[in-house]
C-alpha cells in the first residue's frame, strides 16, 4: 500500500479536511465510526463496504455520510482511489440536502449532481496523472460547486460553533432563535446525527486521536481527559464505534501489524495533518464542567 495525504488549498480549508490518495494492496480494512462525511472517486479496481450481512458496492464516484458504526472495506489489489474527507456539516453545503439522508450510506455522486457533471469530474481525473493533478481537479470541482451553491437563495449558512455543541438543547435552540424541535431537526439535517450521538462521537474521536498519536497514557486518564464517566464508559463506546477494545486498537496500531487498521497508520507528517483537522472541528466539543452524572449516562 502507498498513500499520499495532502492539505487542501487555503480557499477550501473550511470545507475539506485533507485529500487522500491511496494505492491499495487489497484486502479488508476497518473504518471506525466517523462524524465526517467524505467524497471519493475509485480510479481503478473495486471496493465495497460490509457491515454485518449488509454489503454496499462503491460506485466509481460517491459521497459517504457520517458513519454511526464501524464498517469493513473490502478493496481489490491494485485499486486506486482519491477521496476528500469533509469538515462537519459540509455535505449540506455542497449538495443542499439533509446530511442525515446520507448517514451510513454510500451514494453515487451522479444521483446528487447529475450524470453529465459526474462524467466531467471523472474524466478530469485522468488515471495517467499523478496525485497532485487529481487533487487540483477535485479542488477545482469543489470550488465550482461552492460557487453555484452560494447563489442567492441556494445556500444554508446555519451551523453551530463547535464550542456550543455540549450545551443543552434548549439553550442551543434559544441561541439559534428556534424552538427546541426546530433546532433538533436543523441540527440533524446539517450534521447527519442527533445532538446526543454527536456528543458521543466527539468523545470517541478525541480518545481515538490520543491513541493514534501515542499520547493516550492510561485508559483511566484517557477516559477522564475525553469527558467519559469512567474507564468502563470509554471501553463500551470504543468497542461499539471502532469494533475493537481500546487495548486491541492501541496494540493493532503500535504493535505487530494489524492489516485491518492500515487506514489509520499514519507517519509523523500525516498524523499532524489528519489529527489537526480533527482537532479544528472537535477540540472544543467537550462536556460542560456543569454536566452531571445523569446527563453523561443519558448521552451514552
Predicted local confidence at residue 80, as pLDDT? 92
Architecture label for domain 2-149: Sandwich (2.60)
Whether domain 162-298 has CATH 3.40.50.1220: no
All CATH 1.10.10.60 domain ranges in the chain, comma separated: 162-298
Predicted local confidence at residue 241, as pLDDT? 96
pLDDT tens readout for residues 74-84: 999 999 999 99
Predicted local confidence at residue 7, as pLDDT? 94
Predicted local confidence at residue 193, as pLDDT? 93
Predicted local confidence at residue 288, as pLDDT? 35
Predicted local confidence at residue 296, as pLDDT? 35
pLDDT tens readout for residues 196-246: 999 899 999 999 998 888 876 789 999 998 889 999 999 999 999 999 999
In this prediction, the residues of the chain whose per-residue pLDDT falls under 50 are 152-155, 284-300
* 3-state per-residue secondary structure call for the chain: CEEEEECCCHHHCCCECCEEEEECCCEEEEECCECCCEEEEEEECCEEEEECCEEEECCCEEEECCECCCEEEEECCCCEEEEEEECCCHHHHHHCCCHHHCCCCEEECHHHHCHHHHHHHHHHCCCCCCHHHHHHHHHHHHHHHHHHHCCCCCCCCCCCCHHHCCCCHHHHHHHCCCCHHHHHHHHHHHHCCCHHHHHHHHHHHHHHHHHHCCCCCCHHHHHHHCCCCCHHHHHHHHHHHHCCCHHHHHHHHHCCCCHHHHHHCCCHHHHHHHHHHHHHHHCCCCCCCCCCHHHHHHCC
Name the average pLDDT for the chain: 85
pTM assigned to the model: 0.87
Predicted local confidence at residue 279, as pLDDT? 79
Amino acid at each position: 500500500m502507498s498513500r499520499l495525504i495532502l492539505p487542501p488549498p487555503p480557499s477550501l480549508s473550511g470545507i475539506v479536511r485533507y485529500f487522500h490518495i491511496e494505492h491499495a494492496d487489497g484486502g479488508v480494512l476497518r473504518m471506525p465510526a466517523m462524524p465526517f462525511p467524505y467524497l471519493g472517486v475509485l480510479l481503478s479496481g473495486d471496493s465495497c463496504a460490509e457491515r454485518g450481512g449488509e454489503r454496499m458496492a462503491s460506485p466509481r464516484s460517491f459521497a459517504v455520510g457520517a458513519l454511526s458504526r464501524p464498517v469493513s472495506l473490502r478493496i481489490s489489489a491494485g485499486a486506486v482511489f482519491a477521496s476528500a474527507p469533509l469538515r462537519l456539516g459540509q455535505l449540506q453545503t455542497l449538495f443542499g440536502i439533509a446530511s442525515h439522508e446520507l448517514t451510513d450510506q454510500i451514494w453515487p455522486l451522479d444521483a446528487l449532481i447529475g450524470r453529465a457533471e459526474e462524467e466531467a469530474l471523472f474524466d478530469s481525473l485522468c488515471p495517467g496523472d499523478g496525485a497532485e493533478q487529481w487533487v487540483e481537479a477535485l479542488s477545482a470541482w469543489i470550488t465550482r460547486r461552492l460557487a453555484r451553491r452560494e447563489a442567492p437563495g441556494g445556500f444554508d449558512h446555519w451551523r453551530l460553533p463547535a464550542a456550543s455543541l455540549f450545551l443543552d438543547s434548549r439553550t442551543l435552540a434559544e441561541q439559534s432563535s428556534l424552538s427546541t424541535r426546530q433546532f433538533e431537526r436543523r441540527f440533524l439535517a446539517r450534521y447527519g446525527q442527533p445532538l446526543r450521538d454527536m456528543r458521543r462521537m466527539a468523545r470517541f474521536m478525541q480518545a481515538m486521536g490520543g491513541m493514534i498519536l501515542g499520547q493516550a497514557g492510561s485508559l483511566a486518564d484517557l477516559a477522564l481527559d475525553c469527558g467519559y464517566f469512567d474507564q468502563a464508559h470509554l471501553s463500551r463506546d470504543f468497542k461499539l464505534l471502532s469494533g475493537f477494545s481500546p487495548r486491541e486498537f492501541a496494540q493493532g496500531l503500535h504493535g505487530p501489524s494489524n492489516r485491518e487498521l492500515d487506514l489509520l497508520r499514519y507517519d509523523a507528517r500525516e498524523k499532524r495533518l489528519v489529527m489537526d483537522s480533527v482537532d479544528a472541528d472537535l477540540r472544543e466539543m467537550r462536556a460542560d464542567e456543569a454536566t452531571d452524572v445523569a446527563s453523561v449516562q443519558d448521552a451514552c
